[in-house]
Amino acid sequence: MKRRPAQLFQPRVRLYLGFMLIFAIATFFFGYYNNIIAIGMLVSVIFLAIYSRVESKLRTARLLDYIESVSDGLDSTVRDLPFPVVIFSSETSEIIWSNELFKAVCNVKNPLFDARVDNVVPGFNANWLLEGKNESPEPVPLEDRKYRVYGSIMQSEREYIAATYWVDVTDFTKISDEYLASRPIFAILIVDNYEDLLKALSEKEKSILLSDIDEVINSWIEGSGGYLCKFDRDRYFFLFEERKLHDYIHTNFSLLDAVRSCMGAGGVQATLSIGIGKDGLTPIDNYRYATLAVEMALSRGGAQAVIRNKQGFEFFGGHSPQHESRTKVKSRIMASAFGELLTDSAKLLIMGHANADFDSLGAAIGVACIARARGIHAKIVIDMETNHALKLLDIFTHIHEYKGVFISQQKAIIDADTSTLLVVVDTSRPDMVESKTLLQSGMRVAVIDHHRRAADFIDHAVFNYHELQASSTCEMVTEMMQYLVERNDILKDEAKALLSGIVLDTKGFSINTTDRTFEAAAYLRRIGVDMVSVKQLIQTDIDTAVSRYALMLGASIYKPGIAIATSLKPQSRVSIAQAADELLGLEGVTASFVAAMDAQDVLVSARSSGEINVQLILEKLGGGGSRLTAGLQLQGADLAKVIKDLKKAIDDYLAITRKV
């Protein structure tokens, strides 16, 4: 008759026998008249030790019988399994039993009974068993081999027992690792500022410069075993194995820095964008991923490397100032394409980002103006109460042409159908739009945005007008209006809305402006916009001003040129943004960060004069924006932790840029 499981787990007696042996020896040498007692005790200890040894072997045998009794359905007993087997307590990790094969792979000869399994196999963790899994998530290294561990947990009357068997997968993992390391990686390299580099150079100088760029690229790929092909004047195709990709990542794609040694006329440095595609099911997938990656790199300002796989994007570099590559030809082409898209649409819905500001609402109004001029009735989706352009919204709710134009997202979802075109302005991130449900409703989508593109961008748009160098979305829409709308069709208040968005995003034409910005502003001024009325429209109240200066009082210089301000008191979004603007205007400050609570959310607003890319810093925390202006909103976050993470992101950024 088999003993009950609880009877198999008797307490260990080795420690007690050791104390008895010491006591017996001490009694023998120091007890004088008690030597007979001491000898008796010594004999008893020896007898108990022999008995314990024999009982331990019998207990192990009974345990095997018990294990066999609960292993119904197995073709052979646990003892005869052709795999290394170890059974241990899931609570203490102490080994109860192991077969000879397990001792052999562990390279031990003594019994492992009562030893801890994580001591015998360093680094072994059995938490996956407690989670209900039957297979280790990763192969377990043991000596010079790797094992995939399978097992389950059995319950006794006293504790839970983990029974595991180990399958040698060394050869399999070697083949698998070699397969993964040898997978083809597709890369597309583009010289960002090709035209600017060759401008004003003689044919001989052009040839030398292009040869220098080729030499730098060839030097970078040397030893990779890859294949490089120049398939256009400014484009290269690079095919290499994945094992080399880890080296490129480790050096943060040093080619991005090395190519800057090639200079054109006037000291213009060459910059390069790299798009890499990997993990595709077919070579076509990898090429498509590489194309998407290089487009993403260019849309973020160039001079960076982007890796695209099935999961998303990874970004490297992007620390150099972006090059100016806007042309009026592109604006005209995009305006023409947008006009055709409007013609094919029966309905038009326009929405910006949540908590709409002057740039978002102004751009939406501009698009509505274009639609009205082409005979299409547009509707703007906006939260009438929660936004930062209430003064502008109040003006348009009293204009006849805009009666019924502003609607809620619920009404927009009801009105939308397959013939509806949804235009998203001033954002390209699906998690920041006014209505995520509306975006996912299946209608055609057009995007007009000037922010640096994030990894989670709207990727199903049929029209995507993205200009990172534009000062604002209002500037982009104004340029389109010049090709699509007669000046007489534009209301003076519509021009005022567009100009207010430009003025706010450029901080009164002081940052992020180009000649195109002033041309757009001049076009709106010719319609009859009064700058005084624009200034009055964007003025803030006294409470906001007080909050702004209260935030500035809590500012300090974290690193040379970098100011951080925070407040434990809740602050408005407008106050936080304005405080960041004010800090940037202080002498010696090249980048400012302001963090504070707004209700239950933590808001961070960042500004830069151009030397530091604040978008890259906040992107690490989940934010976005552009090189000069960026923001972050974290729901239910801890302000102290956000400040700590922000400082780490700044440190990481500076650690990389100092090497550039």
Instruction: Tell whether 295 and 444 lie within a shared domain.
Output: no
Give alpha helix (H) positions in 139-202: 170-181, 194-198
Residue 323 lies in a domain: no
CATH number at residue 437: 3.90.1640.10
Which H or E run includes 148?
Answer: strand 145-155
Residue 183 lies in a domain: no
Residue 179 lies in a domain: no
- In this prediction, residue 97 carries a pLDDT of 78
Which among 537, 565, 598 is the end of a domain?
537
pLDDT one-digit tens code per residue, 340-393: 999 888 899 999 998 899 999 999 999 999 999 999 989 999 999 888 889 999
Instruction: Tell whether 402 and 525 lie within a shared domain.
Output: yes
Instruction: Tell whether 143 and 158 lie within a shared domain.
Output: yes
Instruction: Tell whether 500 and 577 lie within a shared domain.
Output: no
- In this prediction, residue 56 carries a pLDDT of 66
Instruction: Tell whether 384 and 308 lie within a shared domain.
Output: no
Residue tagged 């050096």 (tokens): 251
User: Residue 87 — left, alpha, or beta (φ > 0 → left; ψ -120 to 50 → alpha)?
Assistant: beta
Range of the domain at 113: 78-174
Pairing of strands 145-155, 160-168: antiparallel
Residue 186 lies in a domain: no
- In this prediction, residue 9 carries a pLDDT of 45
Instruction: Tell whether 372 and 473 lie within a shared domain.
Output: yes
Residue 292 lies in a domain: yes
Instruction: Tell whether 557 and 438 lie within a shared domain.
Output: no
Instruction: Tell whether 358 and 229 lie within a shared domain.
Output: no
CATH number at residue 560: 3.10.310.30
CATH number at residue 94: 3.30.450.20
- Number of domains making up the chain: 5
Residue 394 lies in a domain: yes
- In this prediction, residue 6 carries a pLDDT of 41
- In this prediction, residue 69 carries a pLDDT of 53
Which among 292, 317, 342 is the end of a domain?
317
Instruction: Tell whether 491 and 604 lie within a shared domain.
Output: no
| Entry pTM | 0.66
In this prediction, the residues of the chain whose per-residue pLDDT falls under 70 are 1-21, 23-42, 45, 51, 55-80, 111-114, 156-159, 319-327, 658-660
Residues 6+ apart with CB under 8 A from 468: 299, 300, 301, 322, 450, 451, 452, 453, 626
Side chain identity at residue 4, one-letter code: R
Residue 219 lies in a domain: yes
CA distances (Å), origin 461, targets 37, 441, 448: 95, 13, 10
- In this prediction, residue 321 carries a pLDDT of 57
Instruction: Tell whether 510 and 564 lie within a shared domain.
Output: no
Residues 6+ apart with CB under 8 A from 276: 185, 186, 187, 245, 289, 290, 293, 305, 306, 307, 308
CATH number at residue 244: 3.30.70.270
Instruction: Tell whether 458 and 367 lie within a shared domain.
Output: yes
- In this prediction, residue 265 carries a pLDDT of 78
- In this prediction, residue 1 carries a pLDDT of 38
- In this prediction, residue 23 carries a pLDDT of 65
Residue 374 lies in a domain: yes
Residues 6+ apart with CB under 8 A from 547: 571, 572, 575, 579
Which among 288, 317, 346 is the end of a domain?
317
Instruction: Tell whether 298 and 369 lie within a shared domain.
Output: no
